[in-house]
Amino acid sequence: MAYFYDGVAHTFNEYLLVPGYSSAECNPDAVDLSAPLVRFSRGEQPALKTNIPMTSAIMQSVSNDTMAIALAREGGLSFIYGSQSVADEAEMVARVKDYKAGFVLSDSNLHPDDTLADVLALKQKSGHSTMPVTHNGSAHGRVLGIVTSRDYRPSRTPLEARVRDFMTPREQLVTAPGDTTLKGANDIIWDHKLNALPVLDPEDNLLYLVFRKDYDTHKLNPLEILDTKKRYLVGAGINTHDYEERVGPLLEAGADILCIDSSEGFSEWQQRTLAWIRREYGEEIPVGAGNIVDREGFRFLAEAGASFIKVGIGGGSICITREQKGIGRGQATSVIEVADERNRYFKETGIYIPICSDGGIVYDHHMTLALAMGADFLMLGRYFARFDESPTKRVNVNGSYVKEYWGEGSSRARNWQRYAQGDTNKLSFEEGVDSYVPYAGPLKDNVAMTLTKIRSTMCNCGALSIPDFHKTAKLTLISATSIVEGGAHDVLPKDQINPTRLNFR
């Protein structure tokens, strides 16, 4: 006879936090939202941490290099999607690592025979207005000059004008040698009031550009997460089919952490993948695994060597796994049980393995509930898909702006590696949908508001860090009536009423 779990599997929306004592020290500005990304032993610090408990999902419609840079700037981490060629994924990882080294590889380069029309087209494509001119038009050619928006006026400069005729020539440029430090480069920028500084080798070949805005950006983003070389941290998704070909190039490109992207992680395939990576690259390579929904799944992946473990099956907004296959579990119940097993494992072994809540987040307060229930950090898809920095198109539908958002289990993603079992190489049926999400604007503003809510709520519960929150949080199940009562009710919202039709007698 089948095994039946006791009780009902609950979602985040069925819980509320009960406030605890808040001391005078409980100020939102004092709340530390840093979270461990990888396993660590008692008394030690994790090798990798985020400064906010947010990671972006391993999805085509969410996590590319643009998203990774924007999120790392705010203190979170992106996992570049793996449902693309190995070369393309590695290139995305490399672009993230190159971006924040301070020394940026130029991706907008001109040949002296190019025209203003070429300049405008390249600016439209890349969004960059600073364009080195090299003898062969490549990123590492001999520098002949540079073009910025100050070198031409689209309304007056003919579109057929050659770059060589309006560029700022090499002899007028302030440059730096290849052995210049980042501090030295920034000093040159400030001393000469530059916006960009070309860094050249002894033969005048372009190595990098250093931008004033990167210095300013760092000052405006104190939570940004950087490696020892001052580059943004970035993760990358892998699967259980071509990992032997994928892992090496991703690590060479600079990936700081890997994660197995699979709809169900309690499998021999993930065990094999983890064992191969440990054997070929050593224990120090961080690799997350999942997804699982109960204590047995956690214990399996913990003993297989996972650096962190993702929790959640079927709770994503575009996921229809539960509908199609009848497997999964309410996300709140899953997180609570797995967190309990995580704590038990820590007591037994002295090894703490972070858990990541993946799915089931509809509102900002669901994030706070997931953390209170024991999650160390969150993986979010729909939340990040709404922002400017996600890789999808912004479109106007019936007068409202939306962004495209599709699941990795949809036909559009064609990510059979995530769902296929064994040696099959096809997607037999869909486990995700193709959809839209309301456009929400820039990531920075939205993440800041969400974090303000989380910090404020934690203060209401008397917690100044996520580990403290795990210990002090008090949760209560609520009734369906309580859910209704929790929102606006028994009033007439002004934005839904025509004032001219109201009678105040």
Which residues are catalytically annotated?
Answer: 319, 418
- Strand spans (E) along 2-88: 15-17, 35-36, 40-41, 49-50, 54-56, 77-80
Tokens of 330: 């309410």
Provide the residue count of the chain.
505
Is the preceding peptide bond at 396 cis, omega within 30 degrees of 0? no
Tell the residue number behind the tokens 């009678």, with chain if given.
Answer: 503
Query: CB of 60 within 8 A of CB of 408?
Result: yes
> DSSP states of 462-480 as a string?
T-SBHHHHHHH--EEE--H
Contact of 476 with 16, CB cutoff 8 Å: yes
Find where tokens 């949809």 sit: 410
Which one, of 501, 442, 464, lies nearest residue 21 by Cα? 464
**Are the C-beta atoms of residues 301 and 266 closer than 8 Å to each other?**
yes
Strand runs labelled E in 389-488: 394-397, 400-406, 434-438, 475-477
Token pair listed for 290: 């999942």
197 in Cβ contact with 175 (< 8 Å): yes
Backbone φ/ψ region at 366: left (φ over 0), alpha (ψ -120 to 50), beta? alpha
Beta strands in 280-329 (DSSP E): 287-292, 308-311
Long-range pairs of 217-223 with CB within 8 A, sequence gap ≥ 24: 217/73, 221/73, 221/74, 221/75, 223/51, 223/52, 223/74, 223/75
Q: 49: which 2 tokens? A: 């941490």
- DSSP SS3 for 24: coil
Which residues neighbour 263 within 8 Å (Cβ) at sequence distance 6 or greater? 291, 313, 321, 409, 418, 419, 431
Contacts of 200 (CB under 8 A, 6+ apart): 143, 175, 176, 177, 178, 206, 207
Position of tokens 């920034």?
Answer: 186
396, β-bridge pairs: 401
* Sign (positive or negative) of CA dihedral 306, 312, 314, 318: negative
The H-or-E segment that residue 302 falls in is helix 295-304
